[in-house]
Amino acid sequence: MFQPFGSRLAQAMDHHGPLCLGIDPHPHLLNAWGLNDDTAGLATFSQTVVEAAAETTGVAALKPQVALYERFGSAGFAILEDTLQSAREASILTIADAKRGDIGSTMEGYAQAWLADGSALVADAVTLTAYLGYESLRPAIDLALSHNRGVFVLALTSNPEGASVQHLGPEGDSVAKRIVDAAARDNATAEPLGSVGLVVGATVTDDAKSLNIDLVRANAPILAPGYGAQGAQAADIRQGFGQAWKNVLVNSSRGILQHGPKVADLKSAIADARKDLIVK
Protein backbone atom coordinates (compact mmCIF):
# COMPACT_ATOMS: atom_id res chain seq x y z
CA MET A 1 0.00 0.00 0.00
CA PHE A 2 1.37 3.39 -0.92
CA GLN A 3 1.74 6.37 1.40
CA PRO A 4 -1.03 8.93 1.99
CA PHE A 5 -1.60 11.28 -0.92
CA GLY A 6 -0.37 14.32 0.98
CA SER A 7 2.95 12.62 1.70
CA ARG A 8 3.36 11.44 -1.88
CA LEU A 9 2.54 14.89 -3.24
CA ALA A 10 5.00 16.56 -0.84
CA GLN A 11 7.72 14.18 -2.03
CA ALA A 12 6.86 14.81 -5.69
CA MET A 13 6.98 18.58 -5.15
CA ASP A 14 10.32 18.30 -3.35
CA HIS A 15 11.75 16.37 -6.30
CA HIS A 16 10.07 18.00 -9.30
CA GLY A 17 9.04 21.42 -8.06
CA PRO A 18 5.53 22.84 -7.66
CA LEU A 19 4.24 22.48 -11.24
CA CYS A 20 0.96 20.72 -11.99
CA LEU A 21 0.52 20.28 -15.72
CA GLY A 22 -3.08 20.38 -16.89
CA ILE A 23 -4.13 18.12 -19.74
CA ASP A 24 -6.76 20.31 -21.36
CA PRO A 25 -7.63 19.06 -24.86
CA HIS A 26 -9.58 22.12 -26.00
CA PRO A 27 -10.66 22.02 -29.66
CA HIS A 28 -8.45 25.02 -30.51
CA LEU A 29 -5.40 23.32 -28.97
CA LEU A 30 -6.04 20.11 -30.89
CA ASN A 31 -6.29 22.16 -34.08
CA ALA A 32 -3.14 24.12 -33.21
CA TRP A 33 -1.32 20.80 -32.85
CA GLY A 34 -2.52 19.74 -36.30
CA LEU A 35 -4.93 17.20 -34.80
CA ASN A 36 -8.58 16.63 -35.57
CA ASP A 37 -11.13 17.40 -32.87
CA ASP A 38 -12.06 13.74 -32.53
CA THR A 39 -11.13 10.76 -30.39
CA ALA A 40 -7.99 10.02 -32.40
CA GLY A 41 -6.79 13.57 -31.85
CA LEU A 42 -7.75 13.37 -28.19
CA ALA A 43 -5.74 10.19 -27.68
CA THR A 44 -2.65 11.53 -29.45
CA PHE A 45 -2.79 14.81 -27.53
CA SER A 46 -3.17 13.09 -24.16
CA GLN A 47 -0.41 10.54 -24.66
CA THR A 48 1.96 13.22 -25.94
CA VAL A 49 1.48 15.30 -22.78
CA VAL A 50 2.06 12.28 -20.55
CA GLU A 51 5.18 11.37 -22.55
CA ALA A 52 6.60 14.89 -22.19
CA ALA A 53 5.91 14.92 -18.45
CA ALA A 54 7.49 11.49 -18.00
CA GLU A 55 10.68 12.46 -19.83
CA THR A 56 11.56 15.50 -17.75
CA THR A 57 11.98 16.53 -14.14
CA GLY A 58 9.47 19.27 -13.56
CA VAL A 59 5.93 17.88 -13.31
CA ALA A 60 4.75 16.99 -9.81
CA ALA A 61 1.26 16.02 -11.02
CA LEU A 62 -0.87 15.80 -14.13
CA LYS A 63 -4.42 17.14 -14.09
CA PRO A 64 -6.67 15.97 -16.94
CA GLN A 65 -9.75 18.15 -17.39
CA VAL A 66 -12.56 15.58 -17.33
CA ALA A 67 -15.12 17.72 -19.18
CA LEU A 68 -12.94 17.80 -22.28
CA TYR A 69 -12.96 14.00 -22.38
CA GLU A 70 -16.60 13.66 -21.40
CA ARG A 71 -17.71 15.62 -24.49
CA PHE A 72 -16.76 12.54 -26.54
CA GLY A 73 -18.96 10.24 -24.47
CA SER A 74 -17.86 6.72 -23.62
CA ALA A 75 -15.01 6.86 -26.16
CA GLY A 76 -13.66 9.95 -24.40
CA PHE A 77 -13.81 8.29 -21.01
CA ALA A 78 -11.95 5.28 -22.44
CA ILE A 79 -9.16 7.62 -23.55
CA LEU A 80 -9.15 9.25 -20.11
CA GLU A 81 -8.78 5.79 -18.53
CA ASP A 82 -5.79 5.11 -20.79
CA THR A 83 -4.30 8.52 -19.94
CA LEU A 84 -4.58 7.92 -16.20
CA GLN A 85 -3.06 4.45 -16.62
CA SER A 86 -0.14 5.83 -18.65
CA ALA A 87 0.55 8.39 -15.93
CA ARG A 88 0.50 5.64 -13.28
CA GLU A 89 2.97 3.58 -15.30
CA ALA A 90 5.20 6.66 -15.48
CA SER A 91 4.88 7.15 -11.69
CA ILE A 92 3.28 10.59 -12.10
CA LEU A 93 0.55 11.63 -9.68
CA THR A 94 -2.82 12.42 -11.25
CA ILE A 95 -5.63 14.77 -10.27
CA ALA A 96 -8.91 14.17 -12.08
CA ASP A 97 -10.39 17.63 -12.55
CA ALA A 98 -14.01 16.49 -12.35
CA LYS A 99 -15.41 19.00 -9.80
CA ARG A 100 -17.95 16.49 -8.50
CA GLY A 101 -20.36 17.28 -5.68
CA ASP A 102 -23.62 15.73 -4.48
CA ILE A 103 -25.18 14.04 -1.47
CA GLY A 104 -25.59 10.56 -0.06
CA SER A 105 -25.37 7.56 -2.33
CA THR A 106 -24.73 9.77 -5.37
CA MET A 107 -21.63 11.22 -3.75
CA GLU A 108 -20.61 7.68 -2.83
CA GLY A 109 -20.92 6.74 -6.49
CA TYR A 110 -18.67 9.59 -7.58
CA ALA A 111 -16.19 8.61 -4.88
CA GLN A 112 -16.13 5.00 -6.09
CA ALA A 113 -15.55 6.13 -9.67
CA TRP A 114 -12.57 8.39 -9.02
CA LEU A 115 -11.01 7.12 -5.80
CA ALA A 116 -11.68 3.41 -5.30
CA ASP A 117 -9.11 0.70 -5.96
CA GLY A 118 -9.96 -1.16 -9.14
CA SER A 119 -11.97 1.61 -10.79
CA ALA A 120 -10.98 2.23 -14.40
CA LEU A 121 -11.11 5.97 -13.71
CA VAL A 122 -9.20 5.95 -10.43
CA ALA A 123 -6.84 8.88 -9.94
CA ASP A 124 -4.57 9.89 -7.07
CA ALA A 125 -6.95 12.76 -6.31
CA VAL A 126 -10.12 14.38 -7.61
CA THR A 127 -11.47 17.91 -7.48
CA LEU A 128 -14.75 18.43 -5.62
CA THR A 129 -17.24 21.25 -5.19
CA ALA A 130 -18.88 21.83 -1.81
CA TYR A 131 -21.92 23.85 -2.90
CA LEU A 132 -24.15 21.41 -0.98
CA GLY A 133 -22.00 21.82 2.11
CA TYR A 134 -18.55 20.54 3.01
CA GLU A 135 -19.90 17.51 4.86
CA SER A 136 -21.82 16.43 1.76
CA LEU A 137 -18.37 15.48 0.45
CA ARG A 138 -17.71 13.15 3.39
CA PRO A 139 -18.12 9.90 1.39
CA ALA A 140 -15.39 11.03 -1.02
CA ILE A 141 -13.13 12.43 1.70
CA ASP A 142 -13.40 9.29 3.82
CA LEU A 143 -12.84 6.98 0.86
CA ALA A 144 -9.86 9.03 -0.29
CA LEU A 145 -8.25 8.96 3.13
CA SER A 146 -8.87 5.24 3.63
CA HIS A 147 -7.30 4.48 0.23
CA ASN A 148 -4.37 6.92 0.64
CA ARG A 149 -5.73 9.17 -2.07
CA GLY A 150 -6.71 12.82 -1.97
CA VAL A 151 -9.30 15.43 -2.83
CA PHE A 152 -9.10 19.11 -3.75
CA VAL A 153 -12.12 21.11 -2.61
CA LEU A 154 -12.91 24.36 -4.41
CA ALA A 155 -12.54 27.13 -1.85
CA LEU A 156 -11.70 30.45 -3.50
CA THR A 157 -11.79 30.76 -7.27
CA SER A 158 -11.00 33.58 -9.66
CA ASN A 159 -14.08 33.44 -11.89
CA PRO A 160 -16.10 36.68 -11.57
CA GLU A 161 -19.18 34.84 -10.25
CA GLY A 162 -17.29 33.02 -7.51
CA ALA A 163 -17.29 35.87 -5.01
CA SER A 164 -21.11 36.04 -5.01
CA VAL A 165 -21.13 32.70 -3.16
CA GLN A 166 -17.66 32.20 -1.71
CA HIS A 167 -17.45 35.59 0.03
CA LEU A 168 -20.89 35.35 1.66
CA GLY A 169 -21.32 35.03 5.42
CA PRO A 170 -20.98 37.08 8.58
CA GLU A 171 -17.84 39.17 8.83
CA GLY A 172 -14.85 36.89 9.33
CA ASP A 173 -16.84 33.73 8.53
CA SER A 174 -17.29 33.52 4.78
CA VAL A 175 -18.26 30.35 2.92
CA ALA A 176 -14.69 30.09 1.63
CA LYS A 177 -13.28 30.39 5.15
CA ARG A 178 -15.61 27.68 6.43
CA ILE A 179 -14.42 25.31 3.70
CA VAL A 180 -10.78 26.02 4.51
CA ASP A 181 -11.39 25.60 8.24
CA ALA A 182 -13.16 22.27 7.62
CA ALA A 183 -10.24 21.04 5.55
CA ALA A 184 -7.90 22.11 8.36
CA ARG A 185 -9.79 19.83 10.77
CA ASP A 186 -9.45 16.88 8.39
CA ASN A 187 -5.73 17.59 7.97
CA ALA A 188 -4.98 18.33 11.63
CA THR A 189 -2.83 15.28 12.36
CA ALA A 190 -1.33 14.71 8.92
CA GLU A 191 2.41 15.01 8.34
CA PRO A 192 4.05 16.50 6.37
CA LEU A 193 0.95 17.54 4.42
CA GLY A 194 -2.72 16.65 4.57
CA SER A 195 -4.60 14.82 1.82
CA VAL A 196 -7.65 17.12 1.80
CA GLY A 197 -6.51 19.81 -0.59
CA LEU A 198 -7.98 23.15 -1.55
CA VAL A 199 -8.38 24.98 -4.84
CA VAL A 200 -7.41 28.63 -4.44
CA GLY A 201 -6.90 30.78 -7.51
CA ALA A 202 -3.43 32.23 -7.91
CA THR A 203 -4.95 35.64 -8.68
CA VAL A 204 -7.21 35.89 -5.60
CA THR A 205 -4.76 35.58 -2.72
CA ASP A 206 -5.63 39.12 -1.63
CA ASP A 207 -9.22 37.93 -1.17
CA ALA A 208 -7.98 35.14 1.08
CA LYS A 209 -6.31 37.71 3.31
CA SER A 210 -9.33 40.02 3.39
CA LEU A 211 -11.58 37.08 4.30
CA ASN A 212 -9.26 36.15 7.19
CA ILE A 213 -8.48 32.74 5.67
CA ASP A 214 -5.52 30.94 7.24
CA LEU A 215 -4.05 28.75 4.51
CA VAL A 216 -1.04 27.78 6.61
CA ARG A 217 -3.19 26.33 9.38
CA ALA A 218 -5.14 24.32 6.80
CA ASN A 219 -2.07 22.07 6.31
CA ALA A 220 -3.52 21.41 2.87
CA PRO A 221 -2.06 20.99 -0.57
CA ILE A 222 -3.25 24.05 -2.48
CA LEU A 223 -4.01 23.68 -6.17
CA ALA A 224 -3.56 27.14 -7.64
CA PRO A 225 -4.78 27.75 -11.19
CA GLY A 226 -4.07 31.05 -12.90
CA TYR A 227 -0.32 30.90 -13.62
CA GLY A 228 1.05 31.90 -17.00
CA ALA A 229 -1.61 32.25 -19.68
CA GLN A 230 -4.17 33.38 -17.09
CA GLY A 231 -2.00 36.24 -15.88
CA ALA A 232 -0.41 35.28 -12.55
CA GLN A 233 3.37 35.58 -12.40
CA ALA A 234 5.57 33.31 -10.27
CA ALA A 235 6.86 36.07 -7.99
CA ASP A 236 3.34 37.34 -7.39
CA ILE A 237 2.09 33.86 -6.53
CA ARG A 238 4.90 33.27 -4.05
CA GLN A 239 4.24 36.62 -2.40
CA GLY A 240 0.48 36.14 -2.42
CA PHE A 241 0.53 32.77 -0.68
CA GLY A 242 3.26 33.80 1.73
CA GLN A 243 4.07 31.11 4.29
CA ALA A 244 1.63 28.73 2.59
CA TRP A 245 3.71 28.78 -0.61
CA LYS A 246 5.48 25.53 0.33
CA ASN A 247 2.12 23.74 -0.01
CA VAL A 248 1.14 25.29 -3.35
CA LEU A 249 0.83 23.19 -6.48
CA VAL A 250 0.80 25.68 -9.36
CA ASN A 251 -1.30 24.65 -12.34
CA SER A 252 -0.34 25.52 -15.88
CA SER A 253 -2.22 24.25 -18.91
CA ARG A 254 -2.35 26.49 -21.97
CA GLY A 255 0.92 28.21 -21.07
CA ILE A 256 2.77 24.94 -21.66
CA LEU A 257 0.45 23.08 -24.03
CA GLN A 258 0.60 25.88 -26.59
CA HIS A 259 4.20 24.82 -27.28
CA GLY A 260 3.15 21.40 -28.63
CA PRO A 261 2.89 19.12 -30.50
CA LYS A 262 6.57 18.18 -30.33
CA VAL A 263 7.57 16.43 -27.11
CA ALA A 264 10.90 18.26 -27.10
CA ASP A 265 9.18 21.65 -27.18
CA LEU A 266 6.80 20.66 -24.38
CA LYS A 267 9.74 19.47 -22.29
CA SER A 268 11.47 22.79 -22.85
CA ALA A 269 8.34 24.69 -21.75
CA ILE A 270 8.07 22.49 -18.64
CA ALA A 271 11.72 23.18 -17.80
CA ASP A 272 11.18 26.94 -18.20
CA ALA A 273 8.14 26.86 -15.90
CA ARG A 274 10.01 24.82 -13.29
CA LYS A 275 12.91 27.28 -13.34
CA ASP A 276 10.47 30.15 -12.98
CA LEU A 277 8.59 28.61 -10.04
CA ILE A 278 11.40 27.18 -7.94
CA VAL A 279 12.72 29.60 -5.35
CA LYS A 280 16.50 29.86 -5.50
- Which of the residues are catalytic? 99
Q: Which residues pair with residue 69 across a beta bridge?
A: none
- List CB contacts of 233: < 8 A, sequence separation 6 or more: 227
Residues 6+ positions from 81 with CB-CB distance below 8 Å: 120, 121
How, if at all, do strands 150-156 and 19-23 pair?
Answer: unpaired
Q: Is residue 135 exposed (0-12), middle (13-18) or buried (19+ Cβ within 10 Å)?
A: exposed
Q: What are phi and psi of 145, to 5 degrees?
A: -65, -40
Secondary element (H or E) of residue 276 = helix 263-277
Report whether 193 contacts 247 (CB < 8 A). Answer: yes
Q: Which amino acid is at 163?
A: A
Q: Is 162 left (phi over 0), alpha (psi -120 to 50) or beta?
A: alpha
CA distance 250 to 224: 5
Alpha-carbon distance values, 195 to 52, 143, 154, 223, 235 (Å):
26, 11, 14, 12, 26
215: CB partners within 8 A, 6+ apart: 180, 198, 200, 208, 222, 241, 244, 247
CA distance 3 to 157: 29
